[in-house]
Amino acid sequence: MTKKWWMESVGYQIYPKSFFDSNHDGIGDLKGIDLKLDYLKELGVNLIWICPFYDSPMDDNGYDVRNFFDVAKEFGTMDDVKALIAHAHERGMKIILDYVLNHTSDEHPWFVESRKSKDNPYRDYYIWHDGRTIDGQKYPPTNWGSFFGGSCWNYDETTDSFYMKIFSNKMPDLNWANEKVQDEMIQIAKTWLELGIDGFRIDAVSHLDRAPYEDSHLCASDKVCLDWHKFSNLPKVHDYLKKLNKEVFEPYQALTIGEVGGEASIEQGVKYASFDSNELSMVFNFDHNWCNNLSDVLSHKKMKVRLACIKRAFGQWQEAFKDAGWLPLNWLNHDQPRLMTQYGNYKYPKASGKMLATALHMMRGTPFIYQGEEIGMTNYPFEDVGQFNDISSKANFYYHLSQEPDHPVKALKKAAVVSRDNPRTPMQWDRSRFAGFTTFYPWMSVNPNYKKINVESQINDKDSLWYHYKKLIELRRFSPYKETIVYGSYEMIDVDHPELYNYVRKSKHETLLVINSFSTKKVLYDMSSYRIVETVLSNYPDLKRKGNVLELKPFASVVYKIEENI
Ligand code: TEU
Ligand code: CA
């Protein structure tokens, strides 16, 4: 295995609109990120992924790009980007940006042209198809559904035909079968790498190829259903990625992390990102995310973390990639509810937050922290659909309402708990009005718990969650255990234990035992097969041992350097 800089990095994901507002208009911006670089350096991260800030009508908060070569005016200017890259590099931090290549905004000049006529030179930049008539009524070309609800085809009057859009109506899908599209997108990637960025998080990359335009068997022809198989992980995606790799990623030595969503199998993941696939450096997958406890909230049951599911998900990816490739490690991102709400425990916020951090950061891979996770930010208490900003959250609410028109409160609750707006509320910097995010009214409400949960108070408390994250990063980047934490092997132990997620990291230097309790109660753990050499990290200062039995308090998490008694 060839060692790479990004294997030894710790990442931090920034959602620019909600990070820090430098010019008092209520919207986070690039200068705001620049002003907080020292904060990030203090935390210890050295790889920043910034979500899209390109020129956009903001139908999907910037994932709908109107001009790939310019910055949205609310976020700043190209000069701000250049300054930000320079300032990050001065501090030893790398920057990767979102590369949005599956779709553009419908206001992108290519699409403005494309929709004008069937023989427009840009027509084939997008995916157009005639509709169908069933029982005298007009229907889209297929019954495929879109991620944001409704059909994945949108009717366009000018030419009386449909264009494909697997996200919103304002996000037409690019036609990757067209070589001109490939070349344009290659040019875009080159331009940004020339500007000095260090790589990309590649958005929705698994969707670039489409199945033949035939109905999904999941529903009737006159209905609509989301059938991932129709536009996910199909064979040509690999051809496109190999081309991108050869022409851009490899020559620029760019770090590339493809988002392959929840639908890619592990085998698919390996195909995209093995050391010899010549496609991507890594892939983000969400398998562990489907183990969340959100359905319990909806059914009014007591929330319970599905630990067996989490262990299986993390374990299988670790196992498949142990020799084959490298993984990013992340609990979640800007599309999922907050970590503390999903997997943490409000009765033990500090202990559970620290345990979740340790469980993830001690694995083999490159950890990513999503902004606010380092202070344990939580979901927002949404009470009204008017508080939603995210297009898919609104659609979700109206969908639930249509199913049960007499239960608007229930519909709101269902949409709120999974809403992508939860991770997008403003970063909570301090106790001042609007949490120090802005001095003006923020574009999105600040979580009312900001006086309790904020950066300032945690930096002033050596025992805080923030310091725990800092310690984890120090251990991985600068401690004597560095080699083992970064490159050591990973082996899950106590596989069937219902409350503990334990694993061992091993290198020629040493063996580290990582113990994580997901229990609200005391758990006893037999340590007789190990000799503890040293405690590397713990979220309780005083874990008791009676003979060979370790007493783990609720959500205890501890890392020992050990010798195995064989
Ligand atoms: O998300 C992509 C996305 O939602 C799907 O590809 C995903 O596989 C599926 O929904 C399972 O979670 C990205 C961005 O992260 C998101 O914010 C954007 O809205 C979306 O692409 C469109 O650009
Ligand atoms: Ca601003």
Q: Whose CA is nearest to atom 6 of ligand 1?
A: 204
Question: Does the CA dihedral 114-117-120-123 come out positive or negative?
Answer: positive
Q: Which atom of ligand 1 is nearest to the CA of 64?
A: 23
Q: How many CB atoms lie within 10 A of CB 129?
A: 14
Burial class for 304, CB neighbours closer than 10 Å (0-12, 13-18, 19+): exposed
Nearest CA among 78, 93, 75, 94 for reference residue 31: 75
Q: Whose CA is nearest to atom 3 of ligand 1?
A: 204
User: Each residue's pLDDT tens digit in the chain (566 positions)?
Assistant: 899 999 999 999 999 999 999 999 999 999 999 999 999 999 999 999 999 999 999 999 999 999 999 999 999 999 999 999 999 999 999 999 999 999 999 999 999 999 999 999 999 999 999 999 988 899 999 999 999 999 999 999 999 999 999 999 999 999 999 999 999 999 999 999 999 999 999 999 999 999 999 999 999 999 999 999 999 999 999 999 999 999 999 999 999 999 997 678 999 999 999 999 999 999 999 899 888 766 666 665 665 688 999 999 999 999 999 999 999 999 999 999 999 998 999 899 999 999 999 999 999 999 999 999 999 999 999 999 999 999 999 999 999 999 999 999 999 999 999 999 999 999 999 999 999 999 999 999 999 999 999 999 999 999 999 999 999 999 999 999 999 999 999 999 999 999 999 999 999 999 999 999 999 999 999 999 999 999 999 999 989 999 899 999 999 999 999 997 65
Is beta strand 128-129 parallel, antiparallel or unpaired with respect to 94-100? unpaired
Q: Whose CA is nearest to atom 12 of ligand 1?
A: 261
Q: Whose CA is nearest to atom 16 of ligand 1?
A: 335
Indicate which residue of 259, 287, 374, 510 is catalytic. 259
Residue 74 annotated to the active site: no
Q: For a pocket test of ligand 1, which of 61, 102, 203, 263 has the largest count of ligand atoms closer than 8 A to its C-beta? A: 203
In angstroms, what CA-CA distances link 236 with 78, 232, 465? Answer: 34, 10, 44
Closest ligand by atom to 22 CA: 2
The pTM for the full model equals 0.97
Distance from the first to the final alpha carbon of the chain:
30
Cα 345 from Cα 475, distance rounded (Å): 25
Ligand 1 lined by 167 (C-beta under 6 Å): yes
Ligand 1 lined by 335 (C-beta under 6 Å): yes
Ligand 1 lined by 231 (C-beta under 6 Å): no
In angstroms, what CA-CA distances link 479 with 472, 476, 485, 486, 505? Answer: 10, 7, 9, 11, 15
Cα 494 from Cα 490, distance rounded (Å): 13
